[in-house]
Structure 1
Amino acid sequence: MNAITEMTDLGLLEQVEAKQALQQLNAKFSRAMDRMDRCLMVSLWTDDGQIDWGVHKGSAKPFVIAATTADPSLERSFHSVSTEYFEVDGDTAIGEVSVIIVSIVLENGSKIDRLVGGRYLDRYRKEDGQWTIAQRTFVHDWNMNLPSSANLEEGMFAKFLKGRRDKQDPSYQLFGE
């Protein structure tokens, strides 16, 4: 192998490693949102992180607090990321990540199944060896709101282990957190 081939192979490996780390960063964001895990959520942002999430525009710090504070109108949530596209340039990157958010919310005394589809348009930075979110813009592409058909406590569903929006969620036992 010559030096050009080695450099190309190393560059390719660095791109693959960065894209895998960015995928994990987005998976952790979903986990932090669904479990209201403030410590995890804080670790995902640069100190000067910015967000445009509709009602939250500007510093990510108020968003982190709001996203990880119990909300009695939000019973359950599930964030699923997919179709991740990243362009990496050294210790910076940009990305477009599709997301579907499924929630059970309480509105006017009734439970509503809410589905939201959109994308995160992101700028990332690698700091101290870790990829973080420097800027996130949520683009709302579609939504559906229907009377809830969730059946969590009856029949066969009563026997399943239930997820929670806090550190009592069974996943914390698995990961030892």
Structure 2
Amino acid sequence: METELRTLVDRAAIRWCIETLARGEDRRDAQLIGSCWWPDATYDFGVKAGSYDEYLDWVVPGSDAIANTQHVLGQSYIVPDANDHAKCETHVLSYHRIVTGQGDTDMCIGGRYLDNFERREGEWRIARRVMLYDWCNDWGPSTDWASGLMGQPFPADHYAGHASGDFSEHFFTTVRP
């Protein structure tokens, strides 16, 4: 029973790390991202690969050409071992609003993160991430929803999301459950 409980706790901690990283990437928050990777970690996204520092320089502040992202996580298949290592595959849909200079476009990518996790001093973080791409779809020209949605205006500015500086920052620092 103790082994099963430890496995459940480890899987929950790993899943929390993956969720925190997705939020950090979408909000371009270096502190959140840094809490999920070991400083000596590496990544390989096919189009870019390297050290954790190179990854962070790429993701924060993010490309000016990518105005907004949203990473929607699917199931995670997590296999921890008895030696403080775990392998994990997580399905992801990543949306990107791309600024082209001639009108924004929307793109969605479906793929999987293959993560090697390590537990050090009781904490699980990513030691290596490889991205597998299963599909990509160019959704074409973006709709300007900043002032409303489906013909209805937003009653306040804070309803439109942004990569950084949107209402979610205020929500997590001031709003109580």
| 52-61 or 150-159, larger mean C-alpha shift | 150-159
Q: Is the 8 A contact 1:105 1:113 kept in 2?
A: yes
Equivalences for residues 22-171 of structure 1 within 5 A:
22-90=14-82, 91-152=84-145, 153-154=147-148, 155-159=151-155, 161-166=159-164, 168-171=165-168
- The SS at the match of 2:34 is helix
TM-score (structure 1 length as normaliser): 0.88
d(CA) in 1 for partners of 2:90, 2:66: 24
- The SS at the match of 2:154 is helix
- The SS at the match of 2:160 is coil
Largest Rg, 1 or 2: 1
Amino acid in structure 2 at the alignment position of 1:40: L
**Structure 1 residues 149 and 69, CA, compared in 2 at 3 Å: closer, same or farther?**
closer
**Structure 1 residues 149 and 59, CA, compared in 2 at 3 Å: closer, same or farther?**
closer
d(CA) in 2 for partners of 1:115, 1:159: 29
- Where in structure 2 are there 5+ consecutive unaligned residues? none
Give the Å deviation of 1:107.
2.4
What whole-Å deviation, never above 9, does each CA across 1:123-157 have from its counterpart, x for those lacking one? 00112221100000000110001222423124325
d(CA) in 1 for partners of 2:172, 2:53: 26
Q: CA RMSD in A?
A: 1.7
Matched residue, 1:6:
none
What whole-Å deviation, never above 9, does each CA across 1:47-101 have from its counterpart, x for those lacking one? 2101001232121211112101142211211001112100011311001100000
Identity %: 25
Count of residue correspondences: 168
Q: Is the 8 A contact 1:151 1:157 kept in 2?
A: no
TM-score (structure 2 length as normaliser): 0.88
**Structure 1 residues 141 and 131, CA, compared in 2 at 3 Å: closer, same or farther?**
same
Out of 163, 171, 174, the residue aligned to residue 171 of structure 2 is 174
